[in-house]
């Protein structure tokens, strides 16, 4: 296990360096603009480099997850289209249709369907029946885009993904599903070198690298795959409600952002600067400080989810607590600009 972990870590680092050079050669780089305040051209191959290593692990250990070849096929398609999107800016409509098709593959060939919503209204589990197919599509498309939306400051996407996969690994371990736990650990280990290079550690800003849409897309897809596998199988590792807490920050921020955009009559997927990390930066936090704050919140919510599952806290309590948290966040963010002005004046933040 130690040897495998070390091999994954080194392979990920080597992959990042190789793909970094490749990205510069074909101009697969991110240029600064009004929404992106970084300096210089940054290679967009973090996700490509990391998941080539993860895919290799899965090819060597194909029994790690159910329908491994289906997962690899779907994730590879998303990765390839993500790279094309980073290069040529593919229309969102095409990517959305592709995500729906991938959802259909998961359901009809992999049997991953959100049928069981858990005991969210009392002691009896809610079976979604046909509506489960619609909810599965919503979950897959939602997860993919939720993780894409949070990729706004250095280290954030990688760190949030690490928290989610680590939490999943803990729950799989508690349930005796060691192969799934090992897969989560493999993703975490392969992601750490990316986080370090994304933050400029230890080689400085010259070797900085971004995840790219390819990476954020596959991260979201892998998260929802494992959440469905862990909560919908006959030997489920955790309740469906627990799944919400494990990826709470991306989910809550995405739901709130989309709701606000719809309220304004804008496209739900129109980019803006109203995510949690943008707010923290406006309040005077540095990028690193904002990263620490958001990771602390995410880890705390994931711990609540894990503890709730371990100690068998009623699912309806966990569900309604999550809904209340989401609603509170939404109304808080509706007033955040007025609140931020007062805070900035109070603490004399320029």
Residue 255: the pLDDT is: 92
For every residue of 56-104, which 3-state class applies, written as one string? HHHHHCCCCCCCHHHHHHHHHHHHHHHHHHHHHCCCHHHHHHHHHHHHH
Q: Could you tell me the pLDDT band of residue 39, with boundaries at 50, 70 and 90? A: low
Confidence tier at 190 by pLDDT (50, 70, 90): very high
Going from the C-alpha of 204 to that of each of 59, 156, 194, 196, the distances in angstroms are: 33, 18, 13, 10
User: What's the whole-model pTM score?
Assistant: 0.93
What are the residue ranges spanned by the domains of the chain? 2-346
pLDDT value at 240 more than 60: yes
Is the pLDDT at 326 greater than 90? The verdict is yes
| Summary mean pLDDT of the chain | 90
Q: Which residue did the predictor score with more confidence, 279 or 178?
A: 178
pLDDT of residue 314: 95
* pLDDT in the model for residue 113: 94
Task: Tell whether omega for the bond before 202 is within 30 degrees of 0, i.e. cis.
Answer: yes
Residue 305 has pLDDT above 70, yes or no: yes
Task: Give the model's pLDDT for residue 350.
Answer: 57
- Tell me which of 70-74, 155-159, 345-349 is least confident: 345-349
Task: Kindly tell me if the per-residue pLDDT of 93 is higher than 80.
Answer: yes
Is the pLDDT reported for residue 31 higher than 80?
A: no
Mean pLDDT of 65-87: 94
Separation CA 41–CA 212 (nearest Å): 13
Predicted pLDDT at 280: 87
What are the beta bridge partners of residue 127? 116
Q: How confident is the model at residue 36 (pLDDT cuts 50, 70, 90)?
A: low
pLDDT digits (tens, 9 = 90+) for 72-81: 999 999 999 9
> Tell me, what's the pLDDT at 285?
87
Which pLDDT does position 292 carry in this prediction? Answer: 95
Return the higher-pLDDT residue of 236 and 339: 236
Cα 233 → chain centroid:
22
Q: Is the pLDDT of residue 58 over 60?
A: yes
When pLDDT is cut at 50, 70 and 90, the band that residue 311 belongs to is very high
Contact at 8 Å (CB) between 279 and 339? no
Identify which has the larger pLDDT, 35 or 103: 103
Q: What is the pLDDT of residue 32?
A: 61
In angstroms, the CA 144 to CA 150 distance is 11
Tell whether the model's pLDDT for residue 247 goes beyond 80. yes
């Amino acid at each position: 296990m130690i040897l495998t972990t070390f091999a994954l870590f080194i392979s990920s680092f080597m992959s990042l360096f190789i793909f970094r050079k490749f990205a510069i050669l074909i101009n697969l780089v991110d240029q600064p603009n009004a929404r992106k305040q970084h300096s210089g051209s940054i290679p967009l191959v973090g996700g490509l480099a990391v998941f080539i290593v993860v895919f290799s692990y899965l090819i060597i250990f194909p029994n790690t997850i159910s329908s491994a070849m289906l997962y690899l096929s779907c994730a590879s398609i998303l990765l390839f289209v993500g790279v094309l999107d980073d290069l040529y800016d593919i229309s969102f409509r095409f990517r959305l249709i592709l995500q729906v098709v991938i959802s259909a593959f998961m359901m009809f060939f992999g049997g991953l369907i959100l049928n069981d919503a858990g005991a969210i209204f009392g002691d009896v589990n809610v079976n979604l029946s046909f509506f489960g197919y619609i909810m599965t599509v919503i979950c897959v498309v939602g997860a993919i885009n939720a993780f894409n939306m949070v990729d706004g400051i250095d280290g954030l996407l990688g760190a949030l993904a690490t928290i989610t996969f680590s939490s999943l690994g803990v729950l799989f371990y508690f349930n005796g599903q060691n192969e799934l736990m090992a897969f989560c650990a493999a993703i975490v280990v392969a992601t750490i070198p990316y986080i370090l290079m994304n933050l400029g550690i230890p080689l400085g800003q010259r070797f900085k690298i971004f995840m790219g849409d390819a990476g954020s897309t596959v991260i979201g897809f892998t998260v929802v795959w494992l959440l469905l596998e862990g909560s919908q199988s006959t030997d489920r590792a955790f309740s469906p409600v627990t799944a919400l807490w494990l990826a709470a920050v991306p989910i809550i921020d995405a739901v709130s952002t989309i709701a606000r955009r719809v309220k304004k009559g804008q496209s739900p997927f129109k980019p803006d600067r109203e995510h949690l990390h943008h707010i923290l930066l406006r309040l005077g936090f540095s990028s690193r400080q904002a990263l620490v704050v958001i990771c602390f919140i995410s880890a705390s919510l994931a711990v609540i989810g894990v503890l709730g599952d371990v100690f068998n806290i009623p699912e309806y309590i966990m569900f309604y607590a999550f809904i209340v948290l989401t609603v509170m966040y939404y109304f808080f963010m509706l007033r955040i600009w007025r609140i931020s002005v007062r805070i900035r004046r109070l603490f004399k933040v320029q």
